[in-house]
Amino acid sequence: MHLRAGPILLVAAGGSAGTAARYATALALPPVGGLPLPTIAVNLVGAFLLGVLLESLARSGPDDGGRRTARLLLGTGVLGGFTTYSAFSLDTAELLLAGRVAEAALAVAITLVLGTSAAVLGILLAHRTARAEPTPAGRAAE
């Protein structure tokens, strides 16, 4: 799969869409109370959606064919382009350089704690809503 045009184009197309969605979010959501709300929002939503997507794909079978395509296009591409570590880092640095240490610490805490929580919730949601695997013939359901 390395350096093949198909997977690279999937990631690039998805990344373009995700980046456009992030930009639209930044235009729609102004910073609140000195916090970089657009960056926090896209990272939390992206973490949740990535948890749902990857858990759903993992439960549906091996990472090949349509599942691999979905992972590359939606996970690595769209959600990779939508979320942003670089903007998170820059926003934090700008707050620190402006002497706004409390806001910087709050933004970091929100992003890390709630981002991880969002990913876990996404995984749990996908786990709970996954279709039960069919019971093989001749075996009683447990």
Three-class SS of residue 35?
strand
Choice between 34 and 96, residue whose per-residue pLDDT is larger: 96
For tokens 């690595």, the residue is: 76
What value does the mean pLDDT take over residues 77-81? 97
CB proximity list for 1: less than 8 A, separation 6 or greater: 7, 68
Give the CB-side neighbour count of residue 23, counting CA atoms within 13 A: 7
The identity of residue 8, as a single letter, is: I
Per-residue pLDDT tens over the stretch 80-126: 999 999 999 999 999 999 999 999 999 999 999 999 999 999 999 99
Looking at the predicted structure, is the pLDDT value of residue 135 above 60? no
pTM to 2 decimals? 0.85
Q: Closest Cα to residue 47, out of 16, 11, 19, 82?
A: 82
pLDDT of residue 140: 46
